[in-house]
Amino acid sequence: SFTSAPHFYLHAEINARQLVKLRARLLSELEEQAQVRITYTDLLVKLCSVALTNNSGLMAQWTEDGLHRFDDVNIGIAVDDKRGLFVPVIRNADRMGLETLGREFRRLLAAVRGGNILPDDLSGGTFTITNLGMLGVEGFTPVINLPECCILGAGRMVRKPVVVGEGDIVAVCPMM
């Protein structure tokens, strides 16, 4: 993709304290109902799907005819397997609840790991997420999954001292 699409990179560190609190609350609620266990990747997919509905210019593909924009939020998630890197696609992620989204991701992940992922499950993405946080990687620059025009690379959370609030108070926060 480096030779056929322009590249530029943005790196940002975010305070993930609210994300951690949200996941803890959801885990507590969903465990009571014996539902799917929500991961940070699930939350990233959901948050990106909401953000993409407000920034549709990021949902596009490079084609021979130029930039083609999409209305559907189809998020690919990079999955490493012993046979290589796969990017299964969660279609219409913006229209799914978090539980449904989590189940769909688990279905696609099982299909990749079981060697029976279908070609349709690997096509039609409009945005990709790659999360290396579970491997201890704090930050990296992912390669765009052409023909898409955008990718989010997420690293692990690290507890760091951070200035919070207006009073220059230092608190230890999970940063990502």
- Burial pattern 7-23, b for ≥16 Cβ within 10 A else e, equals eeeeeeeeebbebbeeb
Task: Please tell me what DSSP assigns to residue 163.
Answer: E
Q: With contact defined as beta carbons under 8 Å apart, do 164 and 153 qualify?
A: no
Query: pTM value?
Result: 0.88
pLDDT along the chain (176 residues), means of 10: 70 93 86 75 94 86 80 94 94 93 95 96 93 90 84 94 88 95
Query: What is the CB neighbour count within 10 angstroms for residue 5?
Result: 12
Identify the pLDDT of residue 74: 94
Per the structure block, which two tokens stand in for 121? 């499950």
Q: With contact defined as beta carbons under 8 Å apart, do 122 and 100 qualify?
A: no
Query: What is the CB neighbour count within 10 angstroms for residue 96?
Result: 19
